[in-house]
Structure 1
Amino acid sequence: MFNYIVIGAGFAGSVLAERIANVLNEKVLVIEKRNHIGGNCYDYRTKDGIIVHKYGPHLFHTNYKDVFDYLLNFTEWDIYHHYVLGFIDGKKVPIPFNLNTLYEVFPPSLAKKLEEKLLSKYKYGVKVPILELKKENDKDLKFLAEFVYEKVFKNYTAKQWNMRPEDIDPEVTARVPVYISKDNRYFTDKYQAVPRDGYTKIFENMLNHPNIKLMLNTDFKEVLKIDFENKKIYFLGQEFKGKLIFTGMIDELLDFKYGFLPYRSLNLKFEIYDKEYFQEAPVVNYPNNYDFTRITEFKHIHPIETRKTVILKEFPKTYSPGTDIPYYPVFTKENRELYNKYKEEVQQLENIILVGRLAEYKYYDMDDIVKRALEVFGEL
């Protein structure tokens, strides 16, 4: 019946299923372990009408016009610029640490001196990774780097990753820079928006096609068997000779034969308050003082008039296979080597295509994974 089977109904799987169904006019089966589509982007409305992101905040931002235009086929966008505050020394200040933050945390004379030194060293608008700034020889810039490292970066990183910043891949640490700017927005991409009716509606519109069959609450191993030795795939006992697009955990695909790939997970605690707003910004980071890393208030992201508000506290934790959701691949040299062992074996089957954060053991933002899925479809 199917020439294509897709494992996973997040962005990677849904984009590919939609393209296969609409452009190729082929039948495609989407198998999803959870009881809903959308992967970690799934959201829902509370009885008070508040859109809540079940697996943590998702903020769409991109410089890819083709990605933004593609998603316009499935949603209307509301322009949205994201702001984050950090709780530093008893004050809530702009994050990423920028030129405005200088004046929030230091006396005016010291802030002005540091600003002048930063602007003499770096171009305005540049984002400097904190570990790079720490290498400066100038004593004032070194003082600033140590302050930001200790107050903003070190403890947050330790909570989020359970590692020292120096032991984490630069791909991760570069995401928390010192921003030589007075722009308080968290992102500076050309397109910044949130879907008017939430993310789940995007996936509903993508997968609403007569060529797409969706199986929820189904572990792929219940219906698929992959014989790597003989290079064959079986679906419901019959040999499947089409393309299998896999977006799940690559180590699970091979029954963890080389060991588990490490991830970080989250314990998410939602709280409802009988008040208009809980905090001043959509997200407030707590690098130092609490076990949670940040608090998100969803009404800031999807405004609605109601006297209730919903917040989310995130408590990072080590991923336990079988019980937790794998959120973030842990990028170390050893983990990449382990991933490559799995990848090399999977690639021996030419009709298996690996796409997505879990399948490629790579950190993708939403726009990146849509872009990647469109590129993979182009190769198909």
Structure 2
Amino acid sequence: MYDWLIVGAGFAGSVLAERLASERNERVLIIDRRNHIGGNAYDRYNEDGLLIHQYGPHIFHTNSKQIFDYLSRFTEWRFYEHRVLAEVDGMLVPIPINLDTVNKLYGLNLTSEELQSWFAARAEAVPEIRTSEDVVVSAVGRELYEKFFRGYTRKQWGLDPSELDKSVTSRVPTRTNRDDRYFGDEFQFMPKHGYTRMFERMLDHPNIHIMTQTDYEDVRDIVPHRRVIYTGPIDEYFGFRFGKLPYRSLRFRHVTLEQPWYQPVAVVNYPQTNEYTRITEYKHLTGQEHARTALTYEYPSAEGDPYYPIPKPENQELFKKYERLALATPDVWFVGRLATYRYYNMDQIVGQALATFRRIGEALPVEADASAINVVPSPPVLAS
């Protein structure tokens, strides 16, 4: 008898497995339908000995010392500040847009103060910022929106920015200084030996059993367990009762080149040209020294594994129907991006999992759990 059956061995499931096993001394079975742990953060050495991210680049960054300290139990870190260039009008320029971006693109020599006025002169008045288009044109105007955002967003999402919630482009700041870091967080690091090694250490506990290539439907009725933590798609859990929640997927093409380097930074975006959205070169991220270099080309797709919940009002309404079912389902805790139909960074998922663990402790005190477990069902929880 397992105390917990955890569906999904990504960040949400693995953090909760570790906490339940080590802090509550409970027996955990964690399963994943893929043939590995780590979820989308899984990395591996390719046939050439280069460490690559199987599902595209994962850059760890956070402002939470608590989250950073927690993960530091399972990995050493390599300091890394992420920088991204975009190929625009035949030039490679920094993204997010900053002072150097505008000066290089337009052959100007503006100061930070002058750039503020330059943006203001081009910004469009938007009565209410609702869409991703509104966010950008109200800040920097339509020309930069067209150059950097419209084409990229249409490739990435299969929708025009005017059809997407403001949250999509709000994630990318606009700067008037020369800061070319993609993120501004206090803690910016990469796991020194990779994400997979970190997950292996996280799940290395005698109370945790792991089954990969295992589907929840195949074991839910045959493996004895008391409670479930579900990190998969919430609509799938309920048999798509109200229809499928829309997701955007990705296709990856991994290549190795017979040269030490290919591009000046880890990621180059292509908002104007090519079918792919970006190219990642992993040695920038990992610090690995090697005579060859590994790249990944990303192609957005309407079909495939669910990666990005599509932020539109009608999709949220559909999710709310599943959320109501989840809240009425005892002894199942729904956690993570797919189970709560929201886009989260890795650190946000870790934070959500740690917060869920605290709520489990409040709802199921350890000292009373053993006697009450088959008498009083625990309250259903949908992590937020």
The TM-score with structure 1 as length reference comes to 0.88
**Residue number in structure 1 paired with 2:138:** 135
**Residue number in structure 1 paired with 2:381:** none
| Cα distance in 2, alignment partners of residues 310 and 334 from structure 1 | 40
Matches within 5 A, 1:220-231: 220-224=216-220
**Conservation of the 8 A alpha-carbon contact between 1:88 and 1:151:** yes
**Conservation of the 8 A alpha-carbon contact between 2:135 and 2:169:** no
**Conservation of the 8 A alpha-carbon contact between 2:99 and 2:110:** no
**CA deviation after TM superposition for structure 1 residue 120, in Å:** 8.2
Q: Can you list the C-alpha shifts for 1:310-350, whole angstroms capped at 9, x where unaligned?
A: 1011010103xxxx211100011111111111111122122
Relative to 1, partners in 2 of residues 1:110 and 1:26: Cα closer, same or farther, differing over 3 Å? closer
| Cα distance in 1, alignment partners of residues 324 and 113 from structure 2 | 53
Aligned residue among 257, 274, 281 for 2:241 = 257
| Cα distance in 2, alignment partners of residues 353 and 170 from structure 1 | 29
| Cα distance in 2, alignment partners of residues 112 and 367 from structure 1 | 32
Relative to 1, partners in 2 of residues 1:25 and 1:89: Cα closer, same or farther, differing over 3 Å? same
**Residue number in structure 1 paired with 2:153:** 157
**Conservation of the 8 A alpha-carbon contact between 1:130 and 1:178:** no
- Aligned: 1:329 with 2:309: yes
Structure 1 runs of 4+ off > 4 angstroms? Answer: 109-114, 118-121
CA RMSD of aligned residues (A): 1.9
Aligned residue among 200, 203, 209 for 1:207 = 203
- What amino acid maps onto 2:9 in structure 1? A
Relative to 1, partners in 2 of residues 1:131 and 1:222: Cα closer, same or farther, differing over 3 Å? same
**Residue number in structure 2 paired with 1:85:** 85
Relative to 1, partners in 2 of residues 1:208 and 1:110: Cα closer, same or farther, differing over 3 Å? closer
**CA deviation after TM superposition for structure 1 residue 133, in Å:** 5.1
2:264 match: secondary structure = coil
**Residue number in structure 1 paired with 2:382:** none
Between 169-178 and 283-292, the greater mean CA deviation after superposition: 169-178
**Conservation of the 8 A alpha-carbon contact between 2:41 and 2:55:** yes
**Conservation of the 8 A alpha-carbon contact between 1:49 and 1:304:** no
Q: Can you list the C-alpha shifts for 1:218-243, whole angstroms capped at 9, x where unaligned?
A: 1000011xxxxxxxxx444x6x4x22
Could you tell me which runs of 5 or more consecutive residues in structure 2 were left unpaired when the two chains were aligned. Answer: 122-128, 361-384
**Residue number in structure 2 paired with 1:243:** 227
Relative to 1, partners in 2 of residues 1:100 and 1:130: Cα closer, same or farther, differing over 3 Å? farther
**Residue number in structure 2 paired with 1:67:** 67
**CA deviation after TM superposition for structure 1 residue 212, in Å:** 0.4
Count of aligned pairs: 351
1:108 match: secondary structure = coil
- What amino acid maps onto 1:369 in structure 2? I
**Conservation of the 8 A alpha-carbon contact between 1:62 and 1:191:** yes
**CA deviation after TM superposition for structure 1 residue 114, in Å:** 5.1
2:2 match: secondary structure = coil
- What amino acid maps onto 2:216 in structure 1? F
The TM-score with structure 2 as length reference comes to 0.87
**CA deviation after TM superposition for structure 1 residue 175, in Å:** 1.4
| Cα distance in 2, alignment partners of residues 84 and 379 from structure 1 | 38
**CA deviation after TM superposition for structure 1 residue 179, in Å:** 2.0
Relative to 1, partners in 2 of residues 1:68 and 1:113: Cα closer, same or farther, differing over 3 Å? closer
Percentage of matched positions with identical amino acids: 44
